[in-house]
Structure 1
Amino acid sequence: MVFNSFDFVTFIIPVLLLYWLVFKQSSTSQNILLLVSSLFFYAWADWRFLILLVISTLVNYYLGLKINKAEEDKKRNVFLYTGVVFNVGLLLYFKYVNFFYEGFYDVLNVFGADIGHDTLTILLPLGISFFTFQTLGYLIDVNNEEIEPSTDILEFSVFVTFFPKILSGPIERAAGLLPQLSIKREFSYAVFVDGLRQILWGLFAKVVIAENCAVLVNSVFGDYQDHPASTLVLLTFFYALQLYADFSGYSNMAIGVSKLFGIQLMRNFSTPFFSTNIADFWRKWHISLTTWMMDYVFTPLSFILRRQQKKGLIISIIATFVLVGFWHGANWTFVVYGLFHGIYFIPLVYSGKMNTSEVVAKGKWLPSLQELLKMLLLFVVIMLTDVFFRASSILEAFDYLRRIFSSTIIKAPWAFMNGTTVMTLLLVGFFVIVEWINRERKHDLEISKFSIYLRWAFYIFIFLLLLLFGRSAETFIYFQF
């Protein structure tokens, strides 16, 4: 039941009516409806793993209480490490066992031991990468005494299973979401309308931008060897936009749907392609994952390696981003993707500019030439690295990149420049302009201060683009993670 489906519309409308008209008396009644709705939503997506989600919720709730009640550090550590083993164990088993299993036999074959083996078939529960990280972060925060553990099983269950974020995030922090679930939500027209606005932009990003880019990418990537380098460059550009529009579109819809219930989720994307360095890019791309990795992996690791100074900092960054890459999937391509992004930080570490962050052309319509060149250079680097995200193997990715840097780069991609390509370029241009205009605002379509006539003209224009150029889509890229 994806957000851009008729099934979701028939699901969300009655839930909203019940939420604001029938279950509005208290936070408890609102949470009961949210929990039942969330479990139904997850069961609709994949009923086979509903019990796993419930068990994960109950185990982490119990461990949070035990960590808080333990008076000795030794006992606290026992419960914390139990939680780490439990959550990481779930992730390793369902997502990575086959990867290590196949890797083991590949190593044996390298040394000449040609041993046959059966392929493991382990189904991947939807959203497991997101809800395991969320509950693991909760236990660590309780252990570090940054938050008090939830003593209300209903509130904690909604915190884990809340349906807008369960399948693809954002990875919410307990300090941000749990307090909202402990109080009754009051209806706010302004928040409700802003949620609809954010849903609209997320829907446009997904079904117009991401899906039209996907048509072009899928039409060429399977036989990329038969196309000139210039076509491959265009294809890589469209894939970078597809990846961004797909996931940011989902995030905007998830955040927008949450606003309809009076609940604020954290922002997950903040116009990352308008960054001028890789550190700033990761502060704006998949923000919930980046901040999670920074807090729970990079910070403790850099503290351990603090005596190594800049070398220790570089090792910590690279290790963190290798893990970021591996989080995305059980394939060496994702590991290399993370490795390269970690390496890109090295010049910033030695120049002392890793922590610099600024809004490009703040308060201005256009960037300076220097800002524009930095943005374009960074985008090209990210665009080329995204090849590892799309390729099925490391060899395929390197072969694709090798073909880009060939003499056919000067050959015009006439075969690829058809009506669909030109139309998609125009749509992407409109998409980028709107995001540029809203780069300093709370989200990508924050136009509440515009006149009512201008707002409605814009809404109608978006609806027309959806009708004319929208394509059906049954899933999102990040559902596989």
Structure 2
Amino acid sequence: MVFNSLDFVVFIIPVFLLYWLIFSKSSVYQNFFLLLVSLFFYAWADWRFLILLVASTLINFYLGLKIHRTPEDRKKNIFLYIGLIFNIGLLLYFKYFNFFYEGFFEILNVFGAESSYSTLEILLPLGISFFTFQTLGYLTDVYNEEIDPSENLLEFSIFITFFPKILSGPIERAASFIPQIQEKRNLSYSVSVDGLRQILWGLFAKIVIAENCAIIVNPIFNNYENEPGSTLLVGAFFYAIQLYADFSGYSNMAIGVSKLFGIQLMRNFSTPFFSTNISDFWRKWHISLTTWMMDYVFTPLSFTLRRHQKKGLIFSIITTFVLVGFWHGANWTFVVYGLLHGIYFIPLVFSGKMNSSEIVAKGKLLPSIKEVFKMISLFLLIMLTDVFFRVDNVAMGLDYLKRVFSLSIINFPSIIIASTTIITIILIGFFILIEWCNREKKHDFEIHNYNIYLRWGFYIFIFSLILFFGKSSETFIYFQF
């Protein structure tokens, strides 16, 4: 039941009406209803792992209480380690077991111990990377006494299972999420309308931008050996846009749907392609994952290695981003993706600009030539690195990039003159223009300050684009993670 499906429309309308008309008497009623709806939503997506989700919720709720209530440090540590082993163990088994299993036998074969093996048919539970990181962060925060544990199982269950974010995030923090559901929510017209506005923009990004890009991208990557470097460069460009539009579209819809129920999720994207350096990019790209990794991996690791100064800082950054890459999937391509991003930070470390972050052309209509150059250079770097996000293996990624930089790059890419490509480029231009105009606002389509005629003009225009150029899709790229 994806957000851009008729099934979801049929689902969300009665849920919204029941929530505000029948279950709005108290926070308990609201939370109980949201829990039932969330479990139903997850079961609809993949009922086979509903028991796993429930078990994870109960176990982590209990462990949070034990960590908080245990006075002895030794026993407190034991409960934390149990939680870490349980949650990381879930990820290792369901997501990475075959990766390490195959790697073990490949090492044996390298050393001459020929062994035959077959991979296990392990199904990947939907959303496991997202809800597992939430529980890991929760237990760590409780252990560090940054938050008190939830003593209400119903509220904690909503924190884990809330249906807009369960499949692909954002990765929420208990400190910001749980207080919102402890109080009765009241229907706000302005918040609900803003949620619908964000859903509309997310829908446009997904089924118009991402899906039209996919029509161009898929044939190029599937037949890259027979394409000139210029066409492969075009394919990399459209894939970078597809990846961003697909995931930011999902995030905007998830945040918008959540607003309909009076709950604010954290922003997950903040116009990242308008960044001028790699550090700024990662402050704006998949923000919930980046901040999680910074808080729970980079900060403690860099603190431990602080005596090594810049070398320790570089090691901490690269390790963090290798894990960011590996979080995405059990494939060496994601490791390479993360490694490259970590390496891109090295010049910033030596220049002392790693923490620099700014809104490009703040308060201005247009950026400077220097800012344009920096944005384009960074986008090209990100675009080429994204190739490893798309290909099946590292050898394929290296071969793809090798062909990009071959002499055939001077050939004119015939795909550019195709009508589908031209229309998609125009649509991307409109998409980028709207995001540029909203780069200083709370989300990418915040137009509530416009007069009513202009607002409705935008709504009708975007709805028309969805109607005429939208493509059907059954899933989102990040569902696989």
* TM-score, length-scaled by structure 1: 0.99
Q: 1:379 & 1:282 partners in 2: Cα distance?
A: 12
Residue aligning to 1:22: 22
User: How far 1:416 sits from its partner (Å)?
Assistant: 4.6
Q: Which runs of 4+ in 1 moved over 3 A?
A: none
Residue aligning to 2:168: 168
Q: 2:249 & 2:449 partners in 1: Cα distance?
A: 22
Residue aligning to 1:204: 204
Once the two structures are superposed, the pairs formed by residues 138-287 of structure 1 within 5 Å of their partners are: 138-287=138-287
Residue aligning to 2:468: 468
Pair 1:31 & 2:31 matched: yes
Q: 2:321 & 2:66 partners in 1: Cα distance?
A: 32
User: How far 1:213 sits from its partner (Å)?
Assistant: 0.2
User: How far 1:187 sits from its partner (Å)?
Assistant: 0.6
User: How far 1:113 sits from its partner (Å)?
Assistant: 2.1
User: How far 1:108 sits from its partner (Å)?
Assistant: 1.1
Task: In structure 2, give the amino acid aligned to 1:334.
Answer: F
CA contact (8 A) 2:415 2:421 kept: no
Once the two structures are superposed, the pairs formed by residues 20-169 of structure 1 within 5 Å of their partners are: 20-169=20-169
Q: 1:432 & 1:263 partners in 2: Cα distance?
A: 28
User: How far 1:111 sits from its partner (Å)?
Assistant: 1.6
**Cα deviation digits, residues 157-200 of structure 1 (max 9, x gap):** 00000000000000000001000010000110000000000000
User: How far 1:27 sits from its partner (Å)?
Assistant: 0.3
Task: In structure 2, give the amino acid aligned to 1:84.
Answer: L
Task: In structure 2, give the amino acid aligned to 1:106.
Answer: E
Task: In structure 2, give the amino acid aligned to 1:256.
Answer: G
Secondary structure class of the residue paired with 1:63: helix
Once the two structures are superposed, the pairs formed by residues 333-372 of structure 1 within 5 Å of their partners are: 333-372=333-372
Secondary structure class of the residue paired with 1:42: helix
Q: 2:410 & 2:361 partners in 1: Cα distance?
A: 33
Secondary structure class of the residue paired with 1:288: helix
Q: Which moved more, 1:406-415 or 1:271-280?
A: 406-415
Unaligned runs of at least 5 residues, structure 1 = none
Once the two structures are superposed, the pairs formed by residues 332-481 of structure 1 within 5 Å of their partners are: 332-481=332-481
Q: 2:356 & 2:75 partners in 1: Cα distance?
A: 41
User: How far 1:417 sits from its partner (Å)?
Assistant: 2.6
User: How far 1:415 sits from its partner (Å)?
Assistant: 4.2
Secondary structure class of the residue paired with 2:248: helix
Secondary structure class of the residue paired with 1:164: coil
Secondary structure class of the residue paired with 1:81: helix
Q: 1:351 & 1:55 partners in 2: Cα distance?
A: 48
**Cα deviation digits, residues 103-136 of structure 1 (max 9, x gap):** 1111111122221112211000000000000011
CA contact (8 A) 2:209 2:427 kept: yes
User: How far 1:207 sits from its partner (Å)?
Assistant: 0.1
Residue aligning to 1:7: 7
Q: 2:479 & 2:185 partners in 1: Cα distance?
A: 29
Task: In structure 2, give the amino acid aligned to 1:300.
Answer: P
Secondary structure class of the residue paired with 2:172: coil
Task: In structure 2, give the amino acid aligned to 1:226.
Answer: N
Task: In structure 1, give the amino acid aligned to 2:260.
Answer: L
Q: Which moved more, 1:406-415 or 1:362-371?
A: 406-415
Secondary structure class of the residue paired with 1:349: helix
Secondary structure class of the residue paired with 1:263: coil
| Percent identity between the two aligned chains | 73
User: How far 1:408 sits from its partner (Å)?
Assistant: 1.2
Unaligned runs of at least 5 residues, structure 2 = none
Task: In structure 1, give the amino acid aligned to 2:207.
Answer: V
User: How far 1:436 sits from its partner (Å)?
Assistant: 0.3
Q: 2:78 & 2:417 partners in 1: Cα distance?
A: 61
Q: 1:68 & 1:245 partners in 2: Cα distance?
A: 41
User: How far 1:75 sits from its partner (Å)?
Assistant: 1.2
Q: 1:417 & 1:438 partners in 2: Cα distance?
A: 31
Task: In structure 2, give the amino acid aligned to 1:7.
Answer: D
CA contact (8 A) 2:416 2:422 kept: no
**Cα deviation digits, residues 303-362 of structure 1 (max 9, x gap):** 110000010000000000000000000000000000000000000000000001000000
What is the RMSD computed on CA atoms of the aligned residues?
0.6
Q: 2:77 & 2:135 partners in 1: Cα distance?
A: 16
Q: 1:233 & 1:20 partners in 2: Cα distance?
A: 50
* TM-score, length-scaled by structure 2: 0.99
Q: 1:46 & 1:265 partners in 2: Cα distance?
A: 23
Q: 1:119 & 1:332 partners in 2: Cα distance?
A: 17
Secondary structure class of the residue paired with 2:414: coil
Q: Alignment length, in residue pairs?
A: 481
Q: 1:199 & 1:415 partners in 2: Cα distance?
A: 32
